[in-house]
Structure formats: structure tokens, C-alpha cells
Amino acid sequence: MTDVDGLLRGALRRHAEDAPAATGLLDAVHDRSRRLVRRRRRRTAAVCACALVAVVAALVVAVPAGGGRHASTAHPPSPGATPPASPWSSIAPPTVAAPPPAAPASGDATLRLVPPGAAAPVFPFRPVVTPSGGLADPVVTLTGGELSAYFEAHDGVHGADVTIRVGPRRPAFDEPADRAGPVRETPQQVRGHVATLRTVTIAPANRLSLYWLEKPGQWVRVDTDDTLTDAEVVRLADALAPAAVPVPTPFRFDLVPAGMDLDTSTPSAMAFGPPGGSAVTCRLLAAQSLTGATVPVGPYRGTLRRVDSGATLTVARTDRDATLVVQVPARYSVTDADLIRFAAGVHVTDSAEPAS
């Protein structure tokens, strides 16, 4: 027994340095847990988004002049073969009507309301070469003029989630995860363009971002982790195919601001604005009580408040057990009647998810 004890103690001493450091170990576990939770949530959102694609494609969402500037969305077939037809891969955007006259983009301006005149933006790519196990249908959003498609890996062990972003500006890499560790950049060639592969060294998996200028005014960024090799990320990006998946929208509009593009569309918010900014924002929140004098807003009641920063109309959407908040900044003058008329024409769709 004495020899065995001695051997055991010696083995423990020899391998003591191989034990993982306590610092950061729990954080890595928590990080993995958060990733799994986000996957489950995004899987639910992806199923909803896929089921609603046929409906959303027929919707005409207000984006007057220039709304078609924003790109389109997609989904992945099997590697190395002609991808099978899918409900979203063959969708073309609805016909865009003639745009109304544009409103001034800066300084004080009168907010004019016009009927919808353009289609919702669509995401322009789909991965053909995919990680092991393939990818789920994308969850597509539009934020600040940038389209984003999140593809969840079917294989949670050997596969890798992929996010593809398309926007008018060079990627800024200003999110916390983009600067969470040492950064290394290497030049690459993608689709005939000079590209950059950016690697952030971070546990439990390095963050890989490949980005390039696809054409004037269109930057593309592919994000994943080091489950894929550098060469596999470049191959995935190099084989991106055209697609046209509409962005799911939480609202349908009877009237929209003239001369403004759809700048943001998430499950709980939509915003219109001149290029590079938001001016009129609609948000769907969890139900809250109205305070103060109310005014009729279509079949609902709302409160209208004006402060130095602008006007806010809060509407109790009793049919959805939610609250609609419409905000217009002070630089755009809008009458009470027009603001109420605009809010009365905001219809909540089945893809809407009130924010808490």
C-alpha cells in the first residue's frame, strides 16, 4: 500500500501543471451554456421565420425611395451538389412601385406620410458549402441598414454556427466579443476580391471573421468559430450563392414616412430613416398601463407626449396584450393628427415578438 500511495502522489505532482486554471474555467462553462441557450432560442425563431416566409414575401413594406438598396437572405443545401429547391431559395422580392418624392435628409423637415411604395429588403446570399451536419434555415434581421442572417448548425458538436452580414459600411468590429482577446488578421482571396480573415483568440473557441467588399456599397462579413479551419471558412464564403429571402417584419403599414428607407427590422421593432440613420421608430413592448389623458388611435387608446427630444405616441394594443410605441425625433415636425393617423395604420403581424 505504501508503494501505491507513493506512486499516486508522484503522478499527481507530475501532472499538476496540466490541470486547467481555475481562473476563467467557470466563465468558459457559463459561456458554453449561454451559447446553447441562444441556440435553442434562435432555433425557435428560425422555425417561425421559415413558416412565415411565404406570407412575408407578399407583404409590401413601406420603404419609399431607395428601399431596394438593402440586400437579400438565404439557406444552405448539401456540399458539392446542386442544392435542392426550398421554399425560400426561389423567392423573388415583390415588385417595387415608383418611389414618392424624397424628404430632406438633414435639418428640420416636415414628416409626410404616403402609402407604402417598395418591397421589404431581402438577404442576397445562401451558403452552398456548409459545416459538418449542415445549417438550419436562417434567422434574418435588419439593424442600422445592415442585414444579418444567422444559420444554426444542425450538428452541435462537429458543426459550427455561421452568421453572414451584408451592409453598406466596412465592418467596425466594435462588439465586446470582437475584442475579447488577441487579434490576428491575414489576407485572403474570396470570390475574386481581396479579403481579410480576422481571428480573435478566446476560450472556449476562437472567433473567426472573414470580410470583403463584394461590390461598391456592399460589404460582406462571415462570422463563425474555429470548429472550421481558415481554409474551410474561405471555401464557405467563396461558394456563397445568390438568394432572396425577405426580412420578417413585425408590422404592416398603411402609411410610411416619405423619402425614408426601412433602416431596422427585428422581431420587436421597425425604423425608417434617411440613409445612415433612423427617424421614425415603432417598437412593440410587453403590455404596460397608460398614464395620463388618452386619445383614440384607431380602435385603441393611446397617450401622446412631446418633449424637447421629440414626440412619443404610446398605444395600448389590447388585441395583442402589448404596447406599441411610436417615436419621432424633434428634427421632424409632425402634427398630432398625422402621428395618430400613422400609428392607427400600424398592424402587428404574427412574426412580432414584444420586447420586455
Cα separation, 48 vs 157, in Å, equals: 24
Nearest to 126 by CA among 89, 159, 92, 155: 89
Q: Do 269 and 223 share a domain, yes or no?
A: no
- pLDDT reading at 303 higher than 60: yes
Q: Do 285 and 260 share a domain, yes or no?
A: yes
* Domain stops at, among 246, 281, 315: 246
* Domain stops at, among 246, 263, 288: 246
Range of the domain at 60: 38-98+117-246
Residue 230 in contact with residue 186, Cβ under 8 Å?
Answer: yes
Residue 113 in contact with residue 257, Cβ under 8 Å?
Answer: yes
Q: Do 184 and 266 share a domain, yes or no?
A: no
Q: Do 51 and 192 share a domain, yes or no?
A: yes
In a domain, 302, yes or no: yes
Q: pLDDT by residue (tens digit) across 148-173?
A: 999 999 998 999 999 999 999 999 99
Q: Do 165 and 303 share a domain, yes or no?
A: no
Q: Do 289 and 227 share a domain, yes or no?
A: no
In a domain, 222, yes or no: yes
Cα separation, 237 vs 232, in Å, equals: 9
Q: pLDDT by residue (tens digit) across 106-141?
A: 446 899 999 998 778 899 999 999 999 999 999 999
In a domain, 31, yes or no: no
Cα separation, 344 vs 253, in Å, equals: 9
Q: What is the pTM assigned to this prediction? A: 0.68
Domain count, the chain: 2
In a domain, 18, yes or no: no
Confidence of residue 96 (pLDDT cuts 50, 70, 90): very low
Nearest to 339 by CA among 298, 288, 289: 298
Query: Residue 207's beta-bridge partner residues?
Result: 200, 225
Strands (E) located in 62-192: 109-110, 113-114, 122-126, 139-143, 146-151, 162-167, 183-190
